[in-house]
Structure 1
Amino acid sequence: MFDTITGLPVHPLVVHAVVVGIPVMAILTILVAVRKNLREKYSWWVAGANFLLFLVTLVAKESGEALQEAKGGQLAIEHGQLGSVLPWFVLVMTAASAAVAGTSKNRALGPIAVVLAILSSVAAVYWTVRTGDAGARAVWGS
């Protein structure tokens, strides 16, 4: 299922959505978290989009594992190890954005959710860059 689409490996096709999607959603997550007017209108939409991004990230992980297995298991080992953790970063960002939406009117928990959304968004972008760099180095050389 995660091998190929019309003969092309799924991983390089889907990974671009992850590489673009995570930074974009991280920025939107932070913006919606810190701006009250945006939070009231868009926080559940951002949480939903983050969940969809989490699913795409899982597809990227599974397709990467399928590609690595098809190439004999020795392709981009560090990249694969980093990539297997990336969906967890996106899941935490998703949970934090849902917490922002769910606590937007709560004076005690709202600020904690905002801080978690900011930290998880920054961490997700950092891990995406780290994972992508390891993959690029494995494929294109140092």
Structure 2
Amino acid sequence: MTIHGIPLHPLIVHAAVVLVPLGAAFAVAYAVLPKRRWQTRNPALVLTVVGALSVWLAAATGDSLKAKLHENTAIIHTHETYAGYLQVAMWVLAAFTAVAWWTMPHHNPLPDKDHREGVTTLARPLMVLLPLAAAAVMVLVVMTGDAGARSVWGS
């Protein structure tokens, strides 16, 4: 897959490199800043879901690029392995964020706006799980990107 002769994979990867850390940061902020939940709630959900989709699309275009180039080096295999872990971790983060979006309490200080009492039995574990999943995603995005850069630019 190409756009004007440029492989689609490096273009999509840049979307993932931006959206994944943003989604992770907003998910952490949503979990640990209760007074700002009303502001971070929707961006956290949108960014984690779109980030997960961008990682999936990057993996799909990467498979296409690998098949076109007929290369299967050890560093590409490492890059693919980390990308697979990143896909799983990003979908887990998106799922945790979706559950948190639905269950975590928030108070909107603006008049006549949405207030939610939440489901407190789920809110406490999510306050721990969201930052842990976000940390895993951040580590994996760096490791995946590093392996991908090494496969292109060498060590």
Which ranges in structure 1 are unaligned for 5 or more consecutive residues? none
CA RMSD of aligned residues (A): 1.5
Aligned equivalent of 1:19 = 17
1:4 is aligned to 2:8: no
Q: Deviations over 1:52-86 (max 9, x none)?
A: 11111111000001001101042522112221232
Partner SS state of residue 53, structure 1 = helix
Letter in 2 for 1:111: R
Structure with higher Rg: it is 2
Letter in 2 for 1:33: A
How far off its partner does 1:41 sit?
4.0
TM-score by length of 1: 0.90
1:47 is aligned to 2:60: no
Runs of 4+ in 1 over 4 A off after TM superposition: none
| 1:58-137 paired onto structure 2 within 5 Å | 58-74=56-72, 76-104=76-104, 105-137=118-150
Percentage identity across aligned positions?
Answer: 31
TM-score by length of 2: 0.83
In 1, are the aligned partners of 2:26 and 2:43 still within 8 Å (CA)? Answer: no
Q: Distance in 2 between matches of 1:133 and 1:42?
A: 29
In 2, are the aligned partners of 1:53 and 1:90 still within 8 Å (CA)? Answer: yes
Q: Distance in 2 between matches of 1:110 and 1:35?
A: 13
Q: Distance in 2 between matches of 1:94 and 1:4?
A: 28
